[in-house]
Amino acid sequence: AAREGVLLSVAGVTKQFRGLRALDEVTLAVDSGEIRGIVGPNGSGKTTLFNVISGFYRATAGAVSFAGADTTTARPYTLSLAGLARTFQNLRLFGQLTVAENILVALDRSRTRSLWQYALWQPGVLARERRLRARADEVLARYGLTDFAEADPSSLPYGIQRRIEIARAMAARPRLLLLDEPAAGLNGEEVRQLIGIVRSIRDSGTTVVLIEHNMGLVMSLCEKVTVLSSGKVIAEGTPREVVSAPEVIEAYLGD
């Protein structure tokens, strides 16, 4: 995979919720082409970090930059158009839509034309519609979802639903994918499939940052891991290095 330097940088980020400091001067940099793991005990600030990076929360102090731009105050929609995609700890699929439509919605989000433009450019719109359908079919095939295209996502096994969520996040070919506990609730075989999926995502040119409790998955996917505890970065290095760091052992024993 190409390494073109830093894609995501978090510099001295603090996030304060009233009396609680969920992030305390967090600094980290993720290179293009990396699969970075974010680990830490419950409540250590991992999801808050994702929310700050993706614009759902605004940092109380510090700066975030993505793809060379200062995105400290950018909104989620802007970041998504700039190539940042994420999944959530709890599934957020659209229940009224089929699997294929969930993918189409993600592909179609850059469309902001007004109605009169539709009327004027009818042939162009139809051609675009066909291109989107073809692209959705490609995405479904790539993630092994073709057989479920017309299904209601909520009728499918949990492991398949998680895969739909990743496929939807990847539909617009983001530069950075944030995965919040992608292995939660998956069985051993599904975790093995997930490892293959995340590798192929990285190999196709998308940088990945994942929050994960499953250390087996972190060990096999990540070259570098950042460990949070009480909102602070307490260790960073290879999975092997961090699991044997005394600060990390202490943080987990106290959990």
**Which residues sit at the interface with ligand ADP, rule CB under 6 A?**
17, 20, 22, 40, 42-48
- In whole angstroms, what is the distance from residue 27 CA to residue 13 CA? 7
Rounded to a whole number of angstroms, the minimum distance from the CB of residue 124 to ligand ADP is 43
Considering beta carbons, is residue 46 or 86 the nearer one to ligand ADP?
Answer: 46
CB of 122 to ligand ADP, least distance (A): 45
Could you give the CA distance from residue 56 to residue 210 in angstroms, rounded to a whole number?
A: 17
Please give the single-letter amino acid code of residue 98: T
Instruction: Extract the tokens encoding 119.
Output: 């009327």
Q: Which SS3 state, helix, strand or coil, does residue 174 take?
A: coil
Q: Fill in the amino acid letter for 60.
A: T
Nearest distance, CB of residue 141 and ligand ADP, angstroms? 33
In angstroms, what is the minimal distance from the CB of 173 to ligand ADP? Answer: 27
Identify any residues that bridge with 255 across adjacent strands, giving them in sequence order. Answer: none
- Take residue 120 and report the two structure tokens written for it: 């004027």
Smallest distance, Å, CB 213 to ligand ADP?
A: 9
Q: With respect to ligand ADP, which residue has the nearer C-beta, 48 or 102?
A: 48
Least separation in angstroms between CB 144 and ligand ADP: 29
Nearer to ligand ADP, 20 or 127 (CB): 20
**Residue 9 burial (CB count, 10 A):** 18
| 39, β-bridge pairs | 227
Query: From edge to edge, which strands make up the β-sheet containing 207-211?
Result: 84-86, 176-180, 207-211, 35-39, 224-229, 232-237
Pick the closer one to ligand ADP by CB: 47 or 80: 47
Measured between alpha carbons, how far is 46 from 42 in angstroms, rounded to an integer? 8
Q: Of 32 and 229, which has the nearer Cβ to ligand ADP?
A: 229
Instruction: Give the residue with the Cβ less far from ligand ADP, 17 or 121.
Output: 17
